[in-house]
Chain A
C-alpha cells in the first residue's frame, strides 16, 4: 500500500497518526476527506456541543523588548503608540467587565515590557482575583513566564508557583509559534526557545495549572516543521495531559517586519481549514480545538465547526494584538449572534468557563 492510502486507512480506522502519515495527508490535499474524519473525532470528543465563553481580554502593554519580526503589535520604548496599563487603568477595565452577564474569564496577554518587574504582573493577577472572584484568570503565555523568570532571577517553577498563589488559574496557549529553533531564530530570536516553551507548560501542568497550546503557521516554516510541531505537542500531552484546547493562528503578514521583508502572503482559507482538520486528527489526545473567530473571521470560524473545531472562544471586548496586524473582524460579538451561528451548523451552543465546565444562566 502506498503512503497516502495507508495514512487514509489509519484515519478511517481512527488509529494514531505518525509524522509520515501526516505529511502524506498534507500532500494528498483532500480537504473534504480530512473534514469528514475531523468532524467524526470532534463528535467523539464533545458530541454535538460547541463551546464559547464570555470573556474579556486585557493587553497590559505593547512595549516589548523581544521585537519579534513576526509581530505587528509590539512597539519599542519611546514610540508614541506605546501604552502601559497601570493599576487604575486595569481597575476601570475590571469594573466594566463586572457588568458583563456571565463573565467567566479574564484573559491577559502582553508584551515583554523592558522595565516592569515581576511584582507588577503578580499584583495585576491579585487585583483581578480580588475584583472578580467568580472569574477565572487565564494569563501569561510561556514566553512571558520565561521573561518573568529572567527579570526576577527566579526559576520557572517559582514564578508559576507565585502566580498561582496570587490567583492565576490557567495559561493561554500563545507564543508557541512553530516549536523549532531554526524557525524561532528567524521569526522571534529574542524570546523563549522551543525547550523553554515546553518546560513552562510541563511545569505548569505538574502544578495543576491547565493550559492551552497553539501554532502560528504560514511564514517561514517548512510543512514538515509545521506538522512536527503538532507531534511535539502531542508528545507532551501524552506525558502531562495538561493541555485543554489547541488553536491555530494563521500568520497575518500585514504590518509585520517579517511579512514585509519576505513578501509573505496570508495563507488561504483552504489552508486554514486543512490545517484545522489535520490538527484535529493528529492531536488525538487534545479534548478541544478552538476556532479563534477573531482571526478567522466569523464566517470562516462557523465553517470551522464542520472541520473539527468545537470551541469558538469568547465574546471578546477590545482585542488589540491581532487587529494591529490588519485583522478585519469586529472586536466583539454578542452572545445571541454567536449562538445563532452555532445552531445553524446543527450543533448546540454551550457556554463554558476556562475549564470547560458548563455555565448555567
Chain B
C-alpha cells in the first residue's frame, strides 16, 4: 500500500485488524489522502461483509411535521399554524401505504415524525397499529431515540414500556437511527436543546437492544461540531455497541443547510468531507457490520462512489422523501429498484434486497 510515512502506523493497525484509538481517529480527519482513506475503509468492508450491498424497497411515512423541538438544523419541523404544517390522519397514513403497495416488492416502512405538541403516545401508536394490522406483511421500522424519549415523557411510561408497547401493539421490529446528531451536550444545547440529550438517546438504544429490538445509529455532521466531537461521537456508539451488539447499521448524514436557521451561517459539506467521514466511520466503528451510504442526502452519484469508501448499504427506494427535501436535498424523492440495482452492479457488487433487520429477501448475482 501507499500510506505516507505519517500514517504508516495506522495502516499497520488496520491491516492487523487492531482497534483504532481516539487519537488515530483525529489524525485520520487531518489526512488529505482520500484515496488511501478509501482504500483502507474498502479493505475493512471487504474483510467484514464481502461484496453484498443491501438496499430496501421501502416507503417513508412522516406522520406530521409539526414539532416542538425547533432544532436549528431542521427544515422539516413547523409550528401548528405555520404555512406548510401538516398532520396525517390514520386514513391518510393508510392511503399513503396503500399507494406504495402498488410496488409488489414493497417490503416495509420507515416511520419518522415530528414531536407533535398535542398528540398523545396512544395517538401515534394508534396510527402505527392500524398500519400494522392492515399490512402485517410489511416490516415496521420507525421512531428515533428522540421520539421514543418524547413518548416516555408525554405518557409517563418508562422508555422500556414505550418500546414494549410499540413492539407488541404496533409491530415495531427495528428503531430508526436518526436523532443522534452529535452525541455531545455542548452541541445539542446549542442546536437542539428541546429534545433527547446524548445520554437519553443512548439509553433508548441500550434499552431497545436489551429487549432484543435492533436499532440503527447515525451522525449529523458538518455544522458546528469539531472534528474531535465527530470522533467522540463515533466512540460513544462503538462503546455502546461493545456493550449490546444491537446496532445494525450506521448512517452518516451531512448537514443540509438550506431552509434551516443554521443555514445562514453554515455552508454545505463538500464531497471530500462526506467521503472521508464515511471512510473514517467505517474504520472507527470496527464493531458495526453495516455502514450506509444514504443517497437521499449524499446524492446518487456520491452514494455510489461511497460504496468504495466503506459503505455496504445504500438505503432504499424510499417512495417519497420529504424531511430532507425540505432542506434542499437535490436528489430525487424516490429511486426505482432497477436504478438501485444498476448503481450497485456498476460498482462490481452484489445487490441484495433486505428487510429492516438485514435479512436478505432477494439477491441478484
Contact = CB atoms under 8 A, between A and B. Distances in A.
Interface residues of B, number: 29
A88 B348 CA distance: 53
B342 A268 contact: yes
B39 interface: yes
Contact of A344 (B272, B308, B346): B272
B272 A35 contact: no
Given A270-B347, A299-B302, A39 B39 contact: no
A234 interface: no
Contacts of A121: none
B271 A36 contact: no
A299 B36 CA distance: 19
Interface string B13-42: 000000000000000000011111011001
Interface string B261-305: 000000000111101000000000000000000000001111011
A222 interface: no
Contacts of B347: 29, 31, 268, 270
B307 A270 contact: yes
A46 interface: no
B272 A345 contact: yes
B contacts with A: majority SS: helix
B216 to A, nearest CB: 25
A255 B232 CA distance: 49
Contacts of A52: none
A118 interface: no
A242 to B, nearest CB: 30
A300 B304 CA distance: 11
Interface in A272-329: 272-273, 297, 299-300, 302-303, 306-307
Nearest to A347: B32
B305 A269 contact: yes
Contacts of B2: 36-37, 40
Given A31-B308, A270-B308, A341-B270, A39 B35 contact: yes
A271 interface: yes
Interface of A: 29-33, 35-40, 265, 267-273, 297, 299-300, 302-303, 306-307, 341, 344-347
Interface of B: 1-2, 32-36, 38-39, 42, 270-273, 275, 299-302, 304-305, 307-309, 342-343, 346-348
7 contacts: A35-B35, A35-B39, A35-B308, A36-B36, A39-B35, A306-B272, A307-B35
